[in-house]
């Protein structure tokens, strides 16, 4: 714990999700027997924060494609050019200024973009700019691109704003089946998976392979009853490209794919496949199922010890003013969870359900007896009449 009262955050691991209720509704934080308000923060995915920017003044100048872009206030770095063209390689010079016309401009850098669809070596139109805050960017493209090929720009957060991932499961057990490299995972239910990361060996230096991820829910529900499990699948590609192509130095790596969007939180069986085509199987050090970091944040008292409780299915999600008014601090202290253990003081809650809900069989038995009794009385009355 920090030496003085301050905001403190602790990362939640997959064990907490496995043994807690859906969406952590039963999670409680206590200090000396007193409940402590908290908030659970989830790192935002990069795609959710991406910003689209329309190109300005598209045209040709001196045989080069040129255009401008009005940038939002604040810092930025990675910019992706949205291009409709395929099978090309081009060089992009980027300049920055504080005004759209007139005044001086500063050269930020020169970048290579490419699309090697025909060669099955992937595509990259991302410009990895250094941290910049220019209000306007000016682009000069030397290559076979036309003004109609530029449909826009996508701005992603700076490196400091990118989310942090933690590994939920990792495996190096690879199975080769025909042209496919296959890796299987068994993951506890309710553990979220937000991306699949590949860790290839140093060789081959260059590759581009298609990958699929299949997630299958557990075949029994919470009551232990069997049910039909429907798998969901996503696809993507992984790429590593280093070398000189047509006089351009290219260094590009994309080594992760997204899991199925429709994969439910109770998916337990995961299968990752890489299509090698006619190439040699891709050598892998490991494959990782990763989740966005979830952190439990609260105001810590110096020297105090805190305990996290979970696993009570009768609890609803708490509602704290602390969570509503929470403002994250850049210098928040970090803490770590200790090992999980059973709560020795736990006692099952008394069953407060009505008698009829506790013993539905008795109710039906009583109803049957009443029907039989009434039937007997009616039959006896009919004989007397």
Range with the poorest average pLDDT among 128-142, 235-249, 305-319: 235-249
Q: Check residue 17 and give left, alpha or beta (phi > 0: left; psi -120 to 50: alpha).
A: alpha
pLDDT at 118: 84
Range with the poorest average pLDDT among 3-7, 8-12, 236-240, 322-326: 3-7
Could you give the CA distance from residue 68 to residue 140 in angstroms, rounded to a whole number? 9
Could you give the CA distance from residue 279 to residue 183 in angstroms, rounded to a whole number? 18
**Best CATH choice for the domain 165-292 from the list 2.60.120.260, 3.30.360.10, 3.30.300.30, 2.60.120.590:** 2.60.120.260
Mean pLDDT of 352-361: 66
For residue 122, pLDDT beyond 70: yes
Decide whether 47-161 matches 165-292 in CATH topology: yes
Q: Where are the alpha helices (DSSP H) in the chain?
A: 14-19, 46-49, 321-324, 355-358, 360-384
For residue 377, pLDDT beyond 90: no
Side-chain half-sphere exposure of 142, counting CA atoms within 13 A: 9
- Provide the CATH topology of domain 47-161: Jelly Rolls (2.60.120)
Mean pLDDT of 166-185: 93
State the pLDDT confidence band at 46, using cuts at 50, 70 and 90. Answer: very low
Task: Give pLDDT tens digits for 224-275.
Answer: 555 566 889 999 999 998 888 777 788 888 999 999 976 656 788 999 999 9
pLDDT at 48: 43
For residue 62, pLDDT beyond 70: yes
Mean of pLDDT over the chain: 85
pLDDT at 269: 92
State the pLDDT confidence band at 303, using cuts at 50, 70 and 90. Answer: confident
Q: What percent of the chain has pLDDT over 70?
A: 87
Domains in the chain: boundaries = 6-43+295-335, 47-161, 165-292, 355-384
Range with the poorest average pLDDT among 62-76, 147-161, 164-178, 194-208: 147-161
Could you give the CA distance from residue 102 to residue 99 in angstroms, rounded to a whole number? 7
Mean pLDDT of 297-309: 91
For residue 189, pLDDT beyond 90: no
Could you give the CA distance from residue 173 to residue 117 in angstroms, rounded to a whole number? 31
Residue 272's alpha-carbon distances to 8, 30, 260, 267, in angstroms, are 37, 40, 11, 14
Task: Assess contact for 284 and 181: CB atoms under 8 A.
Answer: yes
Could you give the CA distance from residue 120 to residue 94 in angstroms, rounded to a whole number? 28
For residue 344, pLDDT beyond 70: yes
For residue 10, pLDDT beyond 90: yes
pLDDT at 157: 56
């Amino acid at each position: 714990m920090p030496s003085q009262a301050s905001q403190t955050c602790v990362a939640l691991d997959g064990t907490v999700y496995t043994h807690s209720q859906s969406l952590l509704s039963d999670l409680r934080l206590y200090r000396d027997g007193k409940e402590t308000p908290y908030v659970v923060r989830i790192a935002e995915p990069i795609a959710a924060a991406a910003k689209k920017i329309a190109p300005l003044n598209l045209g040709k100048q001196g045989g080069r494609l040129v255009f401008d872009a009005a940038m939002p206030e604040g810092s930025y770095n990675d910019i992706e050019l949205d291009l409709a063209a395929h099978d090309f390689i081009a060089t992009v010079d980027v300049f920055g200024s504080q005004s759209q016309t007139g005044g001086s401009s500063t050269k930020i850098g020169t970048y290579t973009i490419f699309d090697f669809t025909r060669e099955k070596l992937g595509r990259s139109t991302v410009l990895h700019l250094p941290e910049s805050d220019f209000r306007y960017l000016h682009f000069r493209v030397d290559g076979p691109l036309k003004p109609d090929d530029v449909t826009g720009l996508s701005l992603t957060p700076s490196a400091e704003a990118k989310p942090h991932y933690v590994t939920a499961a990792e495996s190096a057990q690879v199975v080769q089946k025909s042209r496919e490299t296959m890796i299987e995972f068994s993951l506890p239910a309710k553990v979220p998976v937000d991306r699949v990361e590949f860790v290839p060996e140093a060789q081959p230096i260059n590759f581009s392979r298609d990958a699929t991820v299949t997630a299958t829910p557990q075949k029994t529900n919470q009551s232990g009853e069997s049910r039909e499990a429907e798998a969901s699948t996503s696809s993507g590609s992984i790429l590593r490209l280093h070398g000189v192509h047509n006089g351009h130095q290219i260094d590009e790596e994309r080594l992760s794919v997204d899991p199925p969007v429709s994969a439910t939180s109770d998916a337990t069986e995961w299968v990752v496949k890489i299509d090698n085509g006619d190439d040699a199987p891709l050598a892998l050090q490991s494959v990782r199922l990763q989740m966005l970091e979830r952190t439990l944040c609260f105001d810590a008292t110096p020297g105090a010890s805190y305990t996290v409780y979970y696993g009570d299915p009768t609890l609803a999600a708490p509602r704290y003013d602390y969570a509503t008014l929470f403002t994250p601090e850049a210098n928040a202290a970090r803490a770590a969870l200790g090992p999980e253990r059973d709560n020795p003081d736990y006692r099952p809650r008394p069953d407060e359900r009505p008698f009829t809900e506790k013993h539905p069989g008795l109710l039906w038995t009583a109803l049957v007896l009443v029907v039989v009794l009434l039937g007997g009385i009616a039959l006896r009355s009919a004989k007397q009449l």
